[in-house]
Amino acid sequence: MKDCYLFVYGTLMHGSGHLVQQQLHDSSELIGSGWISGQLYQIHDYPGVIESVSVNDKVYGELYRLKDQTLLPLLDDYEACGSTFPEPHEYLRKTVNVTVSGGRKVQAWAYIYNYPVNPAKRILSGRFEQC
């Protein structure tokens, strides 16, 4: 089976205390920190990433190797983009290039925000700080 990776940048990061994050932890291996090209926004009490081609736009998070892909439907439901949610979905699960330590690139799934964003709510640091 080909390795399946997931990049998370918000409420699914280690230490968030969310039940789904615990399931992710139990069903995967934390590879380490990394970043993707994108812009990070504060949506409500959670973040959203929109894609960017600028080399200066980086969003920092964690890369996980999933032990199997059976967790993906649960994560899709958590991100409100599962088949039971009306379209357009708030997030889309897309393949992104993650840069990890040493500059190595890994293709991974990530949840990309799919609604318009408020430019005033951009998190310029590219790091989501949970309350």
Residue ranges of domains in the chain, CATH in brackets? 4-121 (3.10.490.10)
Which tens digits make up the pLDDT trace of 17-33?
Answer: 778 888 898 899 999 99
Rounded to an integer, what distance in angstroms lies between the CA atom of residue 42 and that of residue 69? 28
Rounded to an integer, what distance in angstroms lies between the CA atom of residue 128 and that of residue 10? 6
pTM for this predicted structure = 0.93
Rounded to an integer, what distance in angstroms lies between the CA atom of residue 91 and that of residue 114? 5
> Can you tell me the mean pLDDT for 88-117?
95
Q: What is the pLDDT of residue 3?
A: 86
What confidence tier does 121 reach under pLDDT thresholds 50, 70, 90? very high
| Residue whose token pair is 């998370």 | 8
What confidence tier does 1 reach under pLDDT thresholds 50, 70, 90? very low
Residue 83 has pLDDT above 80, yes or no: yes
Between 18 and 111, residue with greater pLDDT: 111
Show Cβ contacts of residue 33 under 8 Å, excluding neighbours closer than 6 positions: 60, 61, 62, 63, 100, 101
Which tens digits make up the pLDDT trace of 55-69?
Answer: 899 999 999 999 988
Whether residue 110 contacts residue 49, with contact meaning beta carbons closer than 8 Å, is answered with yes
